[in-house]
């Protein structure tokens, strides 16, 4: 057999995505290039690795076994590269972090300096909702997770990174009169919520329940960006994290409306399992945060104080 590491990488991605199109997008390759490599890889095995049923690609049982082997081989090769760099006195390895969706506006600033100083470190950052982040922690799939609400069923260590502040916001062209009225909310004003499992939704619902506010029209969207665009378009108003609407506030596309009990304030926490044995890379990142956290907050998030 004469297959290459590149072919193993491509076939593993095809097996993960169950799609040549999705694999090509993930690998930044053209579909024809991925198809050719799959064909060349398949030619070295007498048993089919994939099959097409209808117009959908499926990986065969044999193909799944080969994919598992490919993953082990690629991990070993990656480990060899990290060991080589370590012997040269260079910090090397992989840092895996799971981040709740609004945390994408926070975490990169705390990673940037560390990654620039440690070019032998590879970063994998998964941005998803709170439920998936907690699942990743439970399954020990990541080194760290960034959350604003701590899961109470897990034993965790944590570092407080910075405050997370949520305000009631709306498009001034649509909601100025309604949101400045004496009543807390008007039933005819739609409220836009994140999906179930979102920490932002939990904070918003806790606020409404605590003040016994009856919601009339409800709209549910599955990302913070979608909520922001909907609010700007005048579909409704929402309680949103300040961290994700800096530009829109500056441009006048959104306004903050003062209401009793707002803003809601929580804390962005970097957490990890107490039972987890941290890698040298993970430990180095914690040391970096201990030294640089306050500087990063001062340099990159001082605009917070304006609000």
Phi/psi class of residue 275: alpha, beta or left (left: φ > 0; alpha: ψ in -120 to 50)? alpha
pLDDT (0 to 100) of residue 89: 65
- Give the residue extent of every domain in the chain: 5-84, 91-162+267-306, 164-265
CA gap 195, 223 in Å, rounded: 8
Helix (H, G, I), strand (E, B) or coil at 82: helix
DSSP category for residue 244: G
Are both 91-162+267-306 and 164-265 of the same fold? yes
Looking at domain 5-84, which CATH architecture does it have? Orthogonal Bundle (1.10)
Cβ burial 154-179 (10 Å sphere, 16+ → b, else e): eebeeeebbbbbbbbbbbeebbeeeb
**Residues 158-212: pLDDT tens digits?**
999 999 999 999 988 876 655 555 454 556 678 899 888 788 888 888 888 888 8
pLDDT (0 to 100) of residue 187: 60
Q: What are phi and psi of 12, to 5 degrees?
A: -60, -40
Tokens of 262: 């707002």
CB-count burial class (<10 Å; 0-12, 13-18, 19+) for 210: exposed
- Closest C-alpha among 73, 57, 55 to residue 65: 73
Tokens of 115: 């990654």
Q: Are 171 and 254 contacting, i.e. CB atoms less than 8 angstroms apart?
A: yes
Helix (H, G, I), strand (E, B) or coil at 208: helix
Q: Which of 80-84, 152-156, 231-235 has the lowest mean pLDDT?
A: 80-84
pLDDT (0 to 100) of residue 220: 92
pLDDT (0 to 100) of residue 253: 92
DSSP E strands, 14-70: 50-53, 56-59
Helix (H, G, I), strand (E, B) or coil at 181: coil
Give the domain 91-162+267-306 fold: D-Maltodextrin-Binding Protein; domain 2 (3.40.190)
Cβ burial 215-233 (10 Å sphere, 16+ → b, else e): eeeeeebeebeebbebbbe
Q: Is the dihedral of CA 251, 253, 259, 264 positive or negative?
A: negative
pLDDT (0 to 100) of residue 85: 63
pLDDT (0 to 100) of residue 227: 93
**Residues 35-80: pLDDT tens digits?**
999 999 999 999 999 998 888 899 999 999 999 998 888 877 777 7
Q: How many CB atoms lie within 10 A of CB 301?
A: 18
- pLDDT band (50, 70, 90) for residue 92: confident
Helix (H, G, I), strand (E, B) or coil at 153: coil
**Residues 10-43: pLDDT tens digits?**
999 999 889 999 888 888 889 899 999 999 999 9
CA distances (Å), origin 266, targets 8, 59, 163, 166, 290 = 44, 45, 6, 8, 20
Indicate the pTM of the whole model. 0.70
Give the domain 164-265 fold: D-Maltodextrin-Binding Protein; domain 2 (3.40.190)
């Amino acid at each position: 057999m004469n297959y290459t590491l590149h072919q193993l990488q491509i076939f593993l991605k095809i097996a993960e995505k169950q799609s040549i199109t999705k694999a090509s997008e993930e690998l930044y390759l053209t579909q024809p290039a991925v198809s050719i490599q799959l064909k060349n890889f398949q030619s070295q095995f007498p048993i089919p690795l994939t099959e097409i049923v209808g117009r959908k690609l499926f990986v065969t049982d044999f193909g799944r076994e080969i994919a598992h082997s490919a993953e082990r081989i690629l991990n070993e090769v990656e480990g060899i590269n990290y060991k080589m760099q370590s012997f040269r006195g260079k910090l090397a390895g992989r840092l895996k972090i799971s981040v709740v969706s609004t945390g994408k506006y926070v975490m990169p600033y705390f990673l940037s300096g560390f990654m620039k100083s440690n070019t032998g470190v590879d970063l994998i950052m998964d941005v998803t909702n709170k439920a998936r982040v907690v699942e990743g922690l439970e399954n020990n799939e990541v080194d760290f997770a960034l959350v604003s609400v701590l899961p109470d069923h897990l034993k965790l260590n944590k570092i407080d990174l910075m405050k997370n502040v949520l305000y009631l916001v709306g498009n001034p062209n649509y909601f100025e009169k309604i949101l400045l009225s004496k009543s807390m909310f008007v039933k005819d004003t739609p409220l836009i919520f994140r999906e179930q499992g979102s920490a932002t939704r939990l904070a918003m619902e806790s606020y409404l329940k605590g003040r016994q506010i009856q919601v009339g029209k409800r709209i549910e969207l599955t990302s913070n960006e979608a909520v922001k665009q909907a609010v700007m378009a005048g579909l409704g108003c929402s309680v949103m994290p300040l961290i994700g609407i800096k530009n829109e506030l500056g441009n006048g596309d959104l306004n903050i409306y003062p209401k009793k009990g707002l803003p809601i304030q929580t804390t962005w926490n970097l957490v990890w399992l107490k039972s987890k044995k941290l890698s040298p890379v993970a430990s180095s990142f914690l040391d970096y945060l201990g030294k640089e956290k306050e500087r990063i907050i001062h340099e990159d998030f001082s605009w917070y104080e304006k609000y």
